[in-house]
Structures are given as C-alpha cells and as structure tokens.
C-alpha cells in the first residue's frame, strides 16, 4: 500500500506539473510507466487490490488517463537477457528487475490482460525483431490513432 501511494504521489506531481500543462498547450505527450504500470506491477503481479490502485491513481491524476498505450510484449527470459545486456554492457538489476521470473510473468500477463480489457486504448506490439521494425510498428499505430483523432475533432 505504501508503494502504491508513493507512486501515486509521484504520478500526481508529473500529471500536474508536466503532462496537464503540455496537453493544455496542445502538445502530444509521450511517457512511460503511467497508470497501467501501477495496476500491473503493484496490482496483478504484486498482489495489491487493483480497484484501490485505480482509485488512488484517479485521485492522484485528477482523472488524467492516457488516450493510447503501447505495450511492448516479450517473453520474460528474453526480456531478462536484454535487461542484463543493456547497450551491450552487463549491468546490475534494480529492485523490481531483481524479482523472480514468476513475478515478471505475472507482469506480462497483467499487461496482456489489460490489453484484452481495453483493446481500443491498449495496443500490444511484439518486442521481437530489431529496433527499427519495432519502431515502425509503433509509429504505424500512433499515426492511425492521430489520424482518427483528427477526423473525430474535425481537423
């Protein structure tokens, strides 16, 4: 519960000081590890109450939720190897990265579950392949989303 509140406090500051002002200025905002990450890491994988986590984050962000989320999907073994070999160098793991593979499997399953629950907002992109291919797949989704939003807003 303490961890959820700490992430909520951090998210509140980010939303009020960075994200909301940028959106009000008409900018597109891209960030990683927003609400869905808390639902998955502290909720589905960590055993916390998902509804409470949603309520805390709704309060913390004053209802500011993403229009679109991209989930990069990769099997946990490959993900662990990539984490260890970041930029070609072996590096230490942070507190969350040190958790066992079962935890990381629950994380993956949690993100995939959210994507099934919200298919119009959450898009799953395979993390397999080279970076350029992954980038192009993501860019295609983003372009389609932005075009659909322009049509919806009559731009």
- Residues 40-58: pLDDT tens digits? 999 999 999 999 999 999 9
**Tokens encoding 41:** 């890491």
Mean pLDDT for the stretch of residues 97-113: 91
Give backbone dihedrals phi and psi of 67, rounded to 5 degrees, phi first: -75, -30
Would the pTM of this model clear 0.75, i.e. be above it? yes
88 DSSP 8-state letter: G
Task: Scan for tokens 């993390």, then name that residue.
Answer: 127
- pLDDT over 70 (residue 155): no
pLDDT band at 90 (very low <50, low <70, confident <90, very high): low
pLDDT band at 97 (very low <50, low <70, confident <90, very high): confident
Distance of CA 30 to the CA centre of its chain: 10
Four-CA torsion 128, 130, 135, 138, nearest 10 degrees: -20
**Tokens encoding 112:** 């995939």
- Pair 39, 114: CB distance under 8 Å: yes
Distance CA 81, CA 90 (A): 10
CA angle (61 as vertex; 17, 93 as ends), nearest 5: 80
Helix (H) or strand (E) holding 125: strand 122-126
pLDDT band at 33 (very low <50, low <70, confident <90, very high): confident
Mean pLDDT for the stretch of residues 74-78: 93
- pLDDT over 80 (residue 89): no
């Amino acid at each position: 519960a303490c961890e959820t509140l700490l992430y909520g406090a951090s998210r509140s500051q980010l939303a009020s000081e960075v994200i909301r002002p940028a959106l009000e200025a008409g900018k597109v905002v891209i960030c990683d590890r927003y609400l869905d990450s808390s639902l998955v890491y502290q909720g589905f994988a960590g055993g916390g109450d998902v509804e409470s986590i949603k309520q805390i984050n709704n309060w913390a962000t004053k209802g500011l939720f993403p229009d679109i989320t991209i989930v990069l999907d990769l099997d946990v073994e490959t993900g662990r190897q990539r984490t260890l070999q970041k930029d070609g160098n072996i590096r230490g793991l942070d507190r969350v990265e040190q958790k066992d593979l079962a935890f990381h499997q629950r994380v993956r399953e949690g993100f995939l579950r959210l994507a099934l629950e919200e298919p119009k907002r959450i898009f799953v992109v395979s993390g397999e392949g080279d970076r350029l291919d992954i980038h192009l797949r993501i860019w295609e989704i983003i372009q389609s989303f932005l075009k659909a939003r322009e049509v919806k807003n009559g731009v």
